[in-house]
Structure 1
C-alpha cells in the first residue's frame, strides 16, 4: 500500500486543470467504447427509438464503467502496488467514486422513470459489477472472466428495454453472442498477466489451468460465439447480413491467436469492434435483406457432386499443409466399411433421399455417397490436424 500520499486530489499537480486531466485519464476508450456502443446498439435493435432515452441510458453505462476504471486504478495502485503510477491520490479516487456513483444513481432514476422498472433492473447490475470488479470479482476465475462481458450484455439489454419497456428474443440472442465472444477475449487478456496474478493470489482462469489451456478455452468460446451468430442468422433470428460479422472477426482472430497475449488481446478487442460494427450495419441497414441464397441447383444432377468436390478440395489442402494426408487416408480407410454399411442401410429403408445427383450407383449406393464417406471424415481430420499442429508445432 502506498503510505505517503499528498493531501489533495491529484498526485504531482494542483488546480482545476490538473484535476480535470487526472479525471479524464481514467476514461480508457478501449474498454469504455464497447459498453457504450452496445447500449446504443440495443436501442437500434428496438427499431424507431428515442434519442433522449438512448443518451440517458448511455450516461448510466458511462458512469458504471467509469466507476470500474476508478476503483480498479485505486485498488491496483493504492492497495496492491500493482501499477507504477496513478494521477489521483487515494482521497481523490474516493471522491471521484462518490461523484461517479452519484451520476449513475441520477441516471438510473431517470431510466426507471422514463424507461420502466425492467430497464432499471437491467441497468443497476452494471454498476454493481463495476464496483465489485476489484478487488472482489477479479480474484476469482468466473468473476475475472465474465464480469466485463456480462456488463456489456446488460448494457445492450438495458439500451433495448428502455426504448420499449420489454425484452424479446432478438436482444437476448445478441447479448448471448457478445457475452460468449467477449468472454473468450477476456481469457486471452487475463493470460498476459499470469505471472503477476499468480504472485498476488489472483485466481484467474490462466492461473488455475495454465496459459495453453486458457488459449484453447478462449478459442472454443470465440468459435462458439461465431457459430451462434451464423446459426441464429440461418434460423432467421438475425438479419441475413449478420452472417458477415463472424467472417470479419475470424480474419482478425486467425492472426491474433498466433501472437503473444498482449498483442493478441489488442487485436481481438479491435476485432470485436469490427464484429459489433458489422452487426450494427446488419440490423440498421439490412443490406442483404432483399437477396436470397445462391441457387447452386443450376448444376442439375451434378449439384451434390460439385459440393463434395469443393469441400473435399479444401480438406485435402488443409491436410497437405500440415503433412497429415497419409494419416487421414489411413483413418478414412478404416472408417469406410462402417460408414458404407450405415449409408446403404439408411438409403435402403428410406431414411433420406438425394434428388440432385447423377444417378450413377456403385455397390448399391450412389457414387456421391462414396465420396461423402470420404469427404466428411477428411474435413473433420483436417480441422483436428490443423489445431494439433498449431498447439504442437514440433510434432512432439
Structure 2
C-alpha cells in the first residue's frame, strides 16, 4: 500500500512525510529546549542538539497522530498527505527515533534525563483522541510539553533542576495555556458540534477570553515578581513589555487574528528571555531601599498603596462597597492581629511606635487598605469584563 495519498514514487512519499514538519507548531517547544540549555550555561552543545532531536521526534509523533485521528478516524480534516498506513509507519519511525534518543540521553547523561523527555511523547500520543476532548487536556497538553522540554534542556546541561528553571517552565505553561484557550475558540462551532469540550465550549467565547486573559496576566505578573526577587535574571522583566503590548491589541481581535498575534508575541517573549539569560541586562540594578525612611517606612508604604486603593474604588464608583467590606472585615482582622502580635508570631521593626487599642497604628491602616484594594481591583476587573 502507498504511503502518500497524492502521487506515487519516492518523491511523493518524501513530500508526504516531510509535510508533517510544521515550523509554527514545532518552533516553541524546540525553542524551549534551547532556552533550557541557555539557562543551564550550554556546557555541552552536543547534548543540547541531542535533546532538541528527541523533542523534535515527540513533536513529529504528535502531528502525525493528530492527522491520523482528525482525518482518517474522525473525518474532521478535509485532506491529509499520508495514507492510514503511511501515518502508522511515520508514527513507528518517529517513536523509534524518540526512544533511541532517550536511550542516548540515559547513557550520556543519566536515566532522569530520559524520564524528563518521556512526558513529551506521552502527551503526543494521547493528545488525540484522549486529551483533546476535555477542557484540561485540550488546553494543557501542548503547554505542558513545552514546559517539560525546557526542564529537559536545562537538565542535560546541569544534571539538576534549579528554582529558576522550574519557575520559567511554570510561566511558559501558564502563558501558553492562555494562548491555547484563545486558539481553541477559533474552532468553537465545530468543537461544539462534535462534543469536544474545550474551554471555549464549556465557558463560551467570552468566558474563554476571560480565562485566557487571567492565565496570560498571571504569567506576566509572575515574571515581574520573579525578576524583582532575583529568582530569575532581572532583565527577564523586559520580556513582559512586548507581550503585554501585543496582547492588548489582540484583546479586541477575533479569535483567529488574536491567536496569530499572541503566537508571535510568545516568540518575542521567548527571544527576550534568551537575551535576559544570556546577557543579564539589569543585573547590577538594585531595588530601592525604602528603609531609608526609618521608623516611617511601614507607614509610607501604606500611604502609597492606600492612595492607589482609594483611586481604584473612586474610579469604579465602589466607595460604599469598599466601606462596607472594611467594616465587615475590620473586627475579625483586629482581633487576629492583636492575638498574633501578643503571642509573638511576627514583629514590625520599621514602624513609628505609636500604638492604638493594643496594636501598632500601621496595622490599623493595613486593615483598611487591604480590603479597599481588593474591592477596587475586583470592581475594576468587572468593569473591564463588561
Instruction: Calculate the TM-score normalised by the size of structure 2.
Output: 0.82
Which among 209, 215, 218 is matched to residue 221 of structure 1?
A: 215
Query: SS at the partner of 1:156?
Result: helix
Q: Quote the residue 1:385 is aligned against.
A: 379
Q: Quote the residue 1:252 is aligned against.
A: 246
Answer yes or no: is the 8 Å Cα contact 2:38–2:154 preserved in 1: yes
CA distance in structure 2 between the aligned counterparts of 1:332 and 1:14, rounded to whole angstroms:
73
1:79-130 deviation line (CA, Å, top 9, x unaligned): 2121222233333333322332233233223222212211111112211211
CA distance in structure 1 between the aligned counterparts of 2:163 and 2:363, rounded to whole angstroms:
39
CA distance in structure 2 between the aligned counterparts of 1:247 and 1:154, rounded to whole angstroms:
25
How far is 1:192 from its partner? 2.9
Q: How does 1:307-318 map to 2 (within 5 A)?
A: 307=301, 311=305, 314-315=308-309, 318=312
Q: Quote the residue 2:144 is aligned against.
A: 150
**Correspondence 1:180 to 2:142:** no
Which among 99, 122, 128 is matched to residue 105 of structure 1?
A: 99
How far is 1:10 from its partner? 3.1
1:179-231 deviation line (CA, Å, top 9, x unaligned): 23322332332233233223223233333444444444333433443344344
Q: Quote the residue 1:72 is aligned against.
A: 66
Q: Quote the residue 1:3 is aligned against.
A: none
Which among 131, 139, 142 is matched to residue 125 of structure 2?
A: 131
Query: SS at the partner of 1:194?
Result: helix
CA distance in structure 2 between the aligned counterparts of 1:307 and 1:167, rounded to whole angstroms:
36
CA distance in structure 2 between the aligned counterparts of 1:328 and 1:51, rounded to whole angstroms:
59
Query: SS at the partner of 1:192?
Result: helix
Q: 1:341 to 1:58 in 2, by over 3 A?
A: closer
How far is 1:156 from its partner? 1.3
Answer yes or no: is the 8 Å Cα contact 2:38–2:278 preserved in 1: yes
Instruction: Calculate the TM-score normalised by the size of structure 1.
Output: 0.80
Query: SS at the partner of 2:57?
Result: helix
How far is 1:62 from its partner? 0.8
1:265-293 deviation line (CA, Å, top 9, x unaligned): 33333333233333322222221222211
How far is 1:60 from its partner? 0.9
1:342-380 deviation line (CA, Å, top 9, x unaligned): 7996999796547477x9999999998787666544432
How far is 1:386 from its partner? 2.0
Q: 1:305 to 1:110 in 2, by over 3 A?
A: same
Q: 1:169 to 1:301 in 2, by over 3 A?
A: closer
How far is 1:38 from its partner? 1.1
Answer yes or no: is the 8 Å Cα contact 2:338–2:358 preserved in 1: no
Q: Quote the residue 1:85 is aligned against.
A: 79
Q: Quote the residue 2:20 is aligned against.
A: 26
Q: Quote the residue 1:95 is aligned against.
A: 89
Answer yes or no: is the 8 Å Cα contact 1:205–1:214 preserved in 2: yes
CA distance in structure 1 between the aligned counterparts of 2:330 and 2:166, rounded to whole angstroms:
45
> Which structure 1 segments of 5+ residues have no match?
1-6
Query: SS at the partner of 1:185?
Result: helix
Q: Quote the residue 1:265 is aligned against.
A: 259
Query: SS at the partner of 1:10?
Result: coil
Q: Which moved more, 1:93-102 or 1:215-224?
A: 215-224
CA distance in structure 2 between the aligned counterparts of 1:141 and 1:336, rounded to whole angstroms:
36
CA distance in structure 2 between the aligned counterparts of 1:227 and 1:326, rounded to whole angstroms:
27
CA distance in structure 1 between the aligned counterparts of 2:319 and 2:249, rounded to whole angstroms:
28
CA distance in structure 1 between the aligned counterparts of 2:268 and 2:314, rounded to whole angstroms:
32
